[in-house]
Amino acid sequence: MTVQENKGIKEAIHKKIIERKALDPEEAYAAMRDILLGNASPAQIGAFLVALKVHEPETVEVAALVRCMKDFGNMIHPATDRAIVDTCGTGGDALKTINISTLSALVAAGAGVTIAKHGNRSVTSACGSADVLEHFGVNIAAAPTTVERSISDAGIGFMFAPVFHPAMKHAAGPRKEIGLRTIFNVLGPLTNPAGASGHVLGVYDEELAPLMASVLVDAGVKRFFIVHNEHGADELLPAGKNQVFERLVDGTVAARSLEAADFGLPDASPSDMMVDKDKESGIRAFSEILRGSGPRALVDAVLMNSALAIMAGEKATDIKEAVKLARASIESGAAIDKLRDLVVASGGSVQQFEKNMNLR
């Protein structure tokens, strides 16, 4: 992309707020470039984020922001001919205690899916993907080359956002001070550093789904499921209706509603999935589910999300078949084995893994 040198974040703010017009790709790219180079002031970054909040961005704008982030990020290219899947979402888990997306990544990996999990520390839950994996001994700060080998050799890798998108540090302060969900909550799941060809992407607002679907199509993602539960979760839950935007095998995008019965699972209520709202309880439930126990409704939630990851990874074409593979991954211990593989491949602590998984 050719970027005009006389354009940048100041001009983008003026166009969005004063002219109330959408940015063209070059203008959006130039604004993001200023942020990532450290050329934008905190006030400018804050104004730009608010402008994109008030005047919602179009697909071409978000796609340009995504391309710029990738250009400035530490992208990797795992040596595998398999589909690579990410389960990173926007945040907004109504449970706020248990990291379903990370559990689903491990379960899908245990079922043979190659996983490149993009994530960060806690934003909306008591324990984010980086927090929980670190607790079990994963070296979350592993270098990109190490993670690349981990995905190629172990079939799973964790990409810690600050390591792979270090230039985003310039926006950290303004994002925190604004205190609102902004376009940057959306960009993380769209900028997988391994170029994942499959996604299970949870969104905190169902209205974001069409935009994110368009951006993923623009990026060439072959198979994705964008999900939102009616109770406000950025996950599939066995309680109520789950809205799903899916890119089908033929390349088209379809929207549908799924419930627990579609997965061959019983209905539950949100209260069935609640645990104490603290980090320790979330981690305990995380380890229980990996060991095949834990509250049934939480296990079923993990099975549902894992099933879509297995389908995105081209290991199954039918939802109920994918649920069987996910259940087998847990019951056989394959999901736990994949967590251990991740610990070893990342250069983490096997001793810490065994201790905190109560395997000694």
The pLDDT value recorded for residue 95 is 64
261 in the same domain as 347: yes
133 in the same domain as 16: no
The residue with tokens 């061959």 is: 264
Q: Specify the number of domains making up the chain.
A: 2
Residue 207 has a CB neighbour count (10 Å cut-off) of 9
213 in the same domain as 314: yes
- CATH value at residue 143: 3.40.1030.10
The pLDDT value recorded for residue 105 is 98
344 in the same domain as 274: yes
253 in the same domain as 307: yes
Is residue 140 included in any domain, yes or no? yes
Cα distance between the two ends of the chain: 54
45: left (phi over 0), alpha (psi -120 to 50) or beta: alpha
The pLDDT value recorded for residue 187 is 94
Is residue 292 included in any domain, yes or no? yes
The pLDDT value recorded for residue 6 is 60
184, 175 Cβ separation under 8 angstroms: yes
- What is the number of residues in the chain? 360
Distance (Å, whole) CA 267 – CA 186: 30
Among 38, 72, 106, residue at a domain's last position: 72
What is the token pair recorded at 237? Answer: 């839950």
The pLDDT value recorded for residue 193 is 97
Is residue 255 included in any domain, yes or no? yes
Is residue 187 included in any domain, yes or no? no
Among 46, 72, 98, residue at a domain's last position: 72
114 in the same domain as 17: no
199 in the same domain as 120: yes
116 in the same domain as 50: no
253-287 burial, b if ≥16 CB within 10 A, otherwise e?
Answer: beeeebbbebbebeebebebbbbeeebebbbbbbb
Is residue 183 included in any domain, yes or no? no
103 in the same domain as 54: no
Three-state SS for 84? strand
Burial of 319 (0-12, 13-18, 19+ CB in 10 A): middle
The pLDDT value recorded for residue 282 is 85
Global model pTM greater than 0.85: yes
Distance (Å, whole) CA 207 – CA 204: 9
328 in the same domain as 233: yes
Among 72, 97, 119, residue at a domain's last position: 72
- CATH value at residue 48: 1.20.970.10
Residue 81 has a CB neighbour count (10 Å cut-off) of 5
198 in the same domain as 127: yes
Q: State which residues of the chain have pLDDT below 50.
A: 3, 124
Query: Cβ contacts of residue 250 below 8 Å, gap of 6+?
Result: none
115, 85 Cβ separation under 8 angstroms: yes
Distance (Å, whole) CA 130 – CA 118: 9
308, 242 Cβ separation under 8 angstroms: no
Is residue 332 included in any domain, yes or no? yes
What is the token pair recorded at 310? Answer: 């297995």
302 in the same domain as 153: yes
Query: Cβ contacts of residue 359 below 8 Å, gap of 6+?
Result: 336, 353
- Domain containing residue 226: 84-162+192-352
What is the token pair recorded at 358? Answer: 């109560």
